[in-house]
Amino acid sequence: MDLFTKLVLVYSVRSVCLLVFLSTLSWKAILYFSIFLVSLYFLPLFPPKSPSDKKRPAKTRDIMTELYPDAEDAVQAKMVSDAIVNLVSYDAEDTPSVQRFETIKQNSNCVFARKAKLWGSPPWNYELNLDGNIYRLLPMLLKFTIKCSSQKLDAFLIELPGKIYGENVQDFGDGIYKVLKVISDNDPAKIHCMNKSYIDKRGWVFEFNKVTFFITTFAPFYPENHPRYAFGAKDCYILLQPEMSFAFHDLPPDTTETNWDQPQTVRDKIRVAFKDAGRSYYIPDSVYSPMVFEILRPISEQDSSYEWWKSGKKCK
């Protein structure tokens, strides 16, 4: 018997059996049976799962993520800043550096100096090098940048021992470079301003934690007729003044012109006061003069500026 004949025979037998079966049922039984078959096809009791629904065994990493979800970068940065602020314990407004700087504050011809609100660096640790001492003040400097706006702080004072850095402009300049470089390298905002190629050009400003600073320095080697005269103080000082502090005192915009005979603005009065005291200070020809030259002044205005920002010497 060939294949075709076999198929015809099989389907014929099946058809006859199906007809006999159906003939023994009522039309209602056939209807209900049909509905039952349809329900199995269209409404399964347990629908098939998609591949994504397959249960994975929980991993340690998944459990940790659920218990300790990652915080956003900004949130993490604030948490770190808050933690540092809470850990800083010394009284920055009453440090020996601030106390010793008082003689300069009280004798300065700047009309804002006597009432200026300063925070200071901790006492110098002679068992550490310069880098180590600057690392010690970084937490307080960070706290200063966080608080200076709300508390209207005028400056952060860094004291360097005069017997190491107060002999001449070169030693002090090398110290200034190292101080600012360490601070810049540890800038939480990652600006790293001391790594810029245009430090001695217009537009550069010292910056830490997104706060820009005007920097003034004082040292014992400056003579009495110099605006950076230290009034007998034995140590060197780097004064980081946040530029926002000028707004606190309503200081007018910078200008190269001065009304010497009838000073009108606060800026005029400060310049005249320094001149009358015999300590006139250099006024750049342009308000856009690079700031870097104002940080460390030569002993005589006829001397060339020491390029401290190019210092490659190993600081003591």
In a domain, 60, yes or no: no
User: Is the predicted pLDDT of residue 229 greater than 80, yes or no?
Assistant: yes
pLDDT for the residue 313: 46
Residue 70 reports pLDDT greater than 90: no
pLDDT for 173 equals 97
For residues 302 and 81, the model is more confident at 302
Looking at residues 165-186, what average pLDDT do you find?
A: 97
| Pair (143, 216) in one structural domain | yes
* Cβ–Cβ under 8 Å, residues 119 and 127: no
Bigger pLDDT: 255 vs 103: 103
What is the enclosing helix (H) or strand (E) of 103?
helix 96-107
Q: Give residue 269's pLDDT.
A: 79
Both 143 and 280 in a single domain?
yes
Residue 172 shares a structural domain with residue 211: yes
Taking alpha carbons only, the member of 145, 141, 152, 143 closest to residue 97 is 141
Q: Specify if 165 maps to a domain.
A: yes
49 and 80: one domain? no
Q: Are residues 33 and 98 in the same domain?
A: no
Residue 66 domain-assigned (yes or no): no
In a domain, 184, yes or no: yes
Q: What was the pLDDT predicted at 58?
A: 57
Exposure of 42 by Cβ count < 10 A (0-12 exposed, 13-18 middle, 19+ buried)? exposed
Residues 236 and 197 in one domain: yes
The H or E element spanning position 160 is: strand 155-160
| pLDDT tens profile 97-144 | 999 999 999 999 887 888 899 999 999 999 999 999 999 999 999 999
Q: Does 49 share its domain with 166? A: no
Give yes or no: residues 80 and 51 share one domain: no
Half-sphere exposure in the Cβ direction for 66 (13 Å, CA): 6
Any domain includes 183: yes
In a domain, 70, yes or no: no
- What percent of the chain has pLDDT above 70? 71
Q: Count the domains in the chain.
A: 2
**Structure tokens given for 111:** 């009309």
Which of 108-117, 190-199, 244-253, 266-275 ranks highest by mean pLDDT?
Answer: 190-199
For residue 295, pLDDT beyond 90? yes
Statement to judge: residues 146 and 257 lie in one domain: yes
Burial of 287 (0-12, 13-18, 19+ CB in 10 A): exposed
161 in any annotated domain: yes
Within-domain flag for 150: yes
For residues 229 and 286, state if they share a domain: yes
CA dihedral for 103, 170, 168, 281, sign (positive or negative): negative
Which pLDDT score, from 0 to 100, does residue 268 have? 78
The whole domain housing 102 covers 76-310
Tell which wins on pLDDT, 239 or 13.
Answer: 239
Same domain flag for 139 and 21 = no
Q: Are residues 46 and 80 in the same domain?
A: no
| pLDDT at res. 314 | 46
